[in-house]
Amino acid sequence: MTQLDQNPTAPRPDASSSTSADPTVVPRFAQPDPSRPRTRYAVLGTGHRAGMYVSAITGDHADVAELVALCDANPGRMAFYDAEVGAALGLDGPAGLPQYAPADLERMIAEQRVDVVVVTTPDRLHAECVARVQAAGADAVVEKPLTTTAEGCRTIADSVARTGREVVMTFNYRYAPRNSTLREVIASGAIGRPTSVHFEWVLDTVHGADYFRRWHRERENSGSLLIHKSSHHFDLVNWWLDDAPARVFASAGLRFYGAENAAARGLGERPERGTGTSGDPWALDLAADRRLKGLYLDAEHHDGYLRDRDVFSGGITIEDNMSLVVDYRSGVSMTYSLNAHAPWEGYTVSVNGTEGRAELTVVERGAIVLDEEGRGVLDPSATPDASPAAESRPEGERLVVQRHWEAAREVPIPRGIGGHGGGDAILLMDVFRRDLRLEADPLGRAADSIDGVRAVAVGIAANESLRTGQAVLVDDLGLGVDISRRAEPAEPAEPTAPAAASRV
């Protein structure tokens, strides 16, 4: 049995263990030409998320990709991955990958002849990282969000225009089959022309709380959850509707986490950090998980970064309750809300159209139960105490379409593979072997920098709306690109012999 990843942001275990996949959502690829050199990748920012790319490059995609260097401000985290790669390759010790400090990024790209840099640094650094990578002659694969500010959007737009280099945005939620199926339903015309969207996302007291322990808790780093987290959701809406945002009004507040809220609710003195405490469901013990310990606790002495700060301490500058009204260019409007302290996790999105309505309901985690030591159990299905919760709020997904004058019908959702609702593994195929695709993607899931700007535009406008108390026009933000412009779909690869097609 594989050990459960105790990182509160790790994908749900049941989604990760699926191995069968439906051909309607998992693309077909040509076999790579064995004489073709592998693409040379480096990873910039070797924290939690980097792990997915490191495993993909050294595992499923090792026939087309090669990991040639690591770059991070923290040598402890680079050493962690160097050891992981060594173990994955069956070596006796670390892989001995070249490791570079951030100031030496350009030297790394030149010395290691890097073709593509995977950018998994904290959000506020993405724009600067992409610009430096491109100026040094490499392409960039960037984790969401593309950037946190209008200035960051302009930096990336200028860099792409100046260098002609590529930015691949990794919007994994698009690849989750339930989200792909909603796009198909809307595109099919089953609900007519969309008129409005109601979108509610709830983060639970494990995953949601975790944003208030880490660098994300400071607005300067993450742009707030309206950018860090909601850019996923706003990208989905842009993509579902094939539209772009025009105007945003936001209302939000920090009403649960943070020192002031805790004091108002009568919470007494609390330790500064979770590690070393017991019996506290709000605390994260880094020592209790091999990965968290290796990546953060054992690496603290290098930079002083604390991954386990108390969610009820001072210094939090992001909100935990957020409500938005967004107008789209086609005339569709959306009501959106995000809550970060819910007892369960998931989302409901309803799309109204001229001929009916589609409703997607997803329960990612129905409840969080506490173990005998008072710690949150990340996989409640593993404990008998969780069964009442499982009955009243079962984990699952349901897409219902109802046309005017007809009964509601449930639309089957095909099976994906891997974490994040079945999206991560399919995304990785598109990142590493896009040029080997045998058919163009009818779902148009691959995303570029314009999609990235379009997704953060709502959060950037929302932040401005929170500052001014007014509705904000996206065109007034000066994002540096025309976000109504659609990218051309990529050409599929020349099919080789049919027997050579693979699904990885």
Ligand X SMILES: NC(=O)c1ccc[n+]([C@@H]2O[C@H](COP(=O)([O-])OP(=O)(O)OC[C@H]3O[C@@H](n4cnc5c(N)ncnc54)[C@H](O)[C@@H]3O)[C@@H](O)[C@H]2O)c1
Given the rule CB under 6 A, which residues bind ligand X?
9, 44-50, 71-74, 77, 102, 120-123, 125, 143-144, 172, 215, 228, 420
Instruction: Kindly state the smallest distance separating residue 146's Cβ from ligand X, in Å.
Output: 9
The answer to whether 248 and 326 are in contact (CB under 8 A) is yes
Of 45 and 274, nearer to ligand X (C-beta) is 45
DSSP category for residue 336? E
Of 173 and 256, nearer to ligand X (C-beta) is 173
In the bound state, the residue with its beta carbon closest to ligand X is: 47
Kindly write down the DSSP assignment for every residue of 403-430, as one continuous string. Answer: ETTS--EEPP-----SHHHHTHHHHHHH
Backbone angles phi, psi at 45, to 5 degrees: 100, 90
Of 47 and 356, nearer to ligand X (C-beta) is 47
Q: Whose structure tokens read 């990340």?
A: 378
Of 240 and 296, nearer to ligand X (C-beta) is 296
Report the alpha-carbon distance of residue 358 to residue 336 in Å, rounded.
16
Of 46 and 99, nearer to ligand X (C-beta) is 46
Cross-strand pairs, 334: 197, 326
Of 102 and 137, nearer to ligand X (C-beta) is 102
Q: Any residues with CB less than 8 A from the CB of 161 and at least 6 apart, and which?
A: none
Q: Whose structure tokens read 């990142």?
A: 431
CB atoms within 10 A of CB 495: 12
In 3D space, the residue among 250, 269, 249 whose CA is nearest the CA of residue 259 turns out to be 269
- Convert 247-276 to b/e letters by CB count within 10 Å (16 or more is b): bbbbebebebbbeebbeeeeeeebeebbbe
Tokens of 99: 């490791």
Of 170 and 465, nearer to ligand X (C-beta) is 170
Instruction: Kindly state the smallest distance separating residue 45's Cβ from ligand X, in Å.
Output: 3
In 3D space, the residue among 311, 316, 302 whose CA is nearest the CA of residue 274 turns out to be 311
Instruction: Kindly state the smallest distance separating residue 203's Cβ from ligand X, in Å.
Output: 13
The H or E element that residue 399 is part of is: strand 396-403
Instruction: Kindly state the smallest distance separating residue 296's Cβ from ligand X, in Å.
Output: 7
Tokens of 335: 């009501």
DSSP category for residue 33? P
Of 16 and 46, nearer to ligand X (C-beta) is 46
The H or E element that residue 248 is part of is: strand 245-253
Instruction: Kindly state the smallest distance separating residue 434's Cβ from ligand X, in Å.
Output: 18
Instruction: Kindly state the smallest distance separating residue 9's Cβ from ligand X, in Å.
Output: 6
Report the alpha-carbon distance of residue 283 to residue 153 in Å, rounded.
36
CA atoms within 13 A on the CB side of 492: 15
Instruction: Kindly state the smallest distance separating residue 393's Cβ from ligand X, in Å.
Output: 23
The answer to whether 336 and 250 are in contact (CB under 8 A) is no
Of 154 and 420, nearer to ligand X (C-beta) is 420
Instruction: Kindly state the smallest distance separating residue 79's Cβ from ligand X, in Å.
Output: 11
Q: Which amino acid is at 385?
A: D
The answer to whether 78 and 46 are in contact (CB under 8 A) is yes
Of 12 and 48, nearer to ligand X (C-beta) is 48
Instruction: Kindly state the smallest distance separating residue 105's Cβ from ligand X, in Å.
Output: 7
Instruction: Kindly state the smallest distance separating residue 172's Cβ from ligand X, in Å.
Output: 5
DSSP category for residue 441? -
Of 41 and 328, nearer to ligand X (C-beta) is 41
Report the alpha-carbon distance of residue 443 to residue 388 in Å, rounded.
38
Instruction: Kindly state the smallest distance separating residue 269's Cβ from ligand X, in Å.
Output: 28
Of 119 and 401, nearer to ligand X (C-beta) is 119
Q: Any residues with CB less than 8 A from the CB of 307 and at least 6 apart, and which?
A: 213, 214, 284, 286, 292, 295, 296, 297
Instruction: Kindly state the smallest distance separating residue 120's Cβ from ligand X, in Å.
Output: 4
